[in-house]
Amino acid sequence: MSRKRAVVQKSLAVSWDRLAGMPKPLERLSKGELERKQCISRLMTYELKYLTCQFVNEEFEWLLPVIFSKSTDPLWPDPRASIEKRIEVEIYGKSVRTTLSMILHKIVACSLAYPKLFILSPNVRIERTERAYSGIHAYEFTQLDFEVKSATSKEIKSLVEKILRGLVSSLKKQMRKELIYLKRHDSLKVPEIPFRTYDREELQERYGRNWETQLMLETCDPIWVTNIPREFYDFEDFDQNKWDNYDLLMPKYGEVLSGARREYEYDKITRKMERDNIRKENYQTLLKLAKERRLKPSAGAGIGIERLVNWIAGAKHVGETQPFPKIPGLVYDL
């Protein structure tokens, strides 16, 4: 055997060792594993049908997603962001980025034309390799992003609670066979509303820096966590030193939704950008609209579609919910 071939085979062996316990590509699944994959896919289909119908019934406009843009979510200085690389390409002589999230687009669209909107938005976030083992991270995923003009955080949270309670109740009736197959029918409970709410500062005082991990081990129900330091577009009360935002955490599975009331005043946005060393030239349209007072108060959130199915199905890794798993650090052929 040539030295080069031996090195390649050793490299492949190490690579497949790393894949142990990770979701596999379709062509490597056994018959039983394919049946499980198909079962999870049926739950995904039902979830998408239910959620989109509910938002349409609530008179939301269904917009199409943006893939490339000069402006996208900076994902900074959120302490929980773990982006290793940002994808930039050149088209028509201009540098554009793949969508990290459509928050900025939502804010503008909601202010100018669509008072209630939602989008099934593909996101590309090249997470650090160690996130592969979290069970909830993928470097490509889809969010159901939505935004409501003049809404409060309380109104958004109430809407989410009503929709998720209805989703779980409907799943247990209509997808009973699939949930039984996945051994999830009995353990998946219809959540009581309203969900409990915790302040992030209080959780840090009680549990320390790893408050989320500890909380997930103790809770049996979906919970809200508020007041999380994040990007410039989340509303921040400078006087109270509080953030008007919220994450929804599922027991044992962590965050499935992130949202906030939005900043819309030019002076506050620019002050926060300067504080956080955000490059203003990347957000010229947003700043122009804010300066002209064309940005309006709004609130909204993004629901991680794969993460929500992950919790519903009781899967071990979010990659199980994807036909072609996109696991940090691992790149399959398809």
3 has pLDDT over 60: no
CA 313 from chain centre, in angstroms, equals 17
10 has pLDDT over 80: no
Task: HSE, CB side, 13 Å, CA atoms: give it for residue 148.
Answer: 20
74 has pLDDT over 90: yes
Alpha-carbon distance of 39 to 175, in angstroms, equals 10
Alpha-carbon distance of 261 to 248, in angstroms, equals 15
| Digit-coded pLDDT (tens) for 207-239 | 998 899 889 888 999 999 999 999 999 999 999
Q: How many residues comprise the chain?
A: 334
pLDDT at 309: 98
Do 112 and 294 meet the contact criterion of CB atoms below 8 Å apart? yes
CA 197 from chain centre, in angstroms, equals 19
Confidence (pTM) = 0.92
Q: Assess whether the previous peptide bond of 328 is cis (omega < 30° from 0).
A: no
pLDDT at 20: 64
Q: Mean pLDDT over all residues of the chain?
A: 93
- Tell me the average pLDDT across 264-269: 98
Place 284 in a pLDDT band, splitting at 50, 70 and 90.
very high
pLDDT at 324: 97
Residues 6+ apart with CB under 8 A from 66: 99, 102, 105, 121
300 DSSP β-pair partners = 147, 260
Place 12 in a pLDDT band, splitting at 50, 70 and 90.
very low
49 has pLDDT over 90: yes
What CATH number belongs to 31-321?
3.30.930.10
Positive or negative: CA dihedral 264, 268, 271, 276? negative
Alpha-carbon distance of 235 to 231, in angstroms, equals 9
| Digit-coded pLDDT (tens) for 77-126 | 877 778 888 999 999 999 999 999 999 999 999 999 999 999 999 999 99
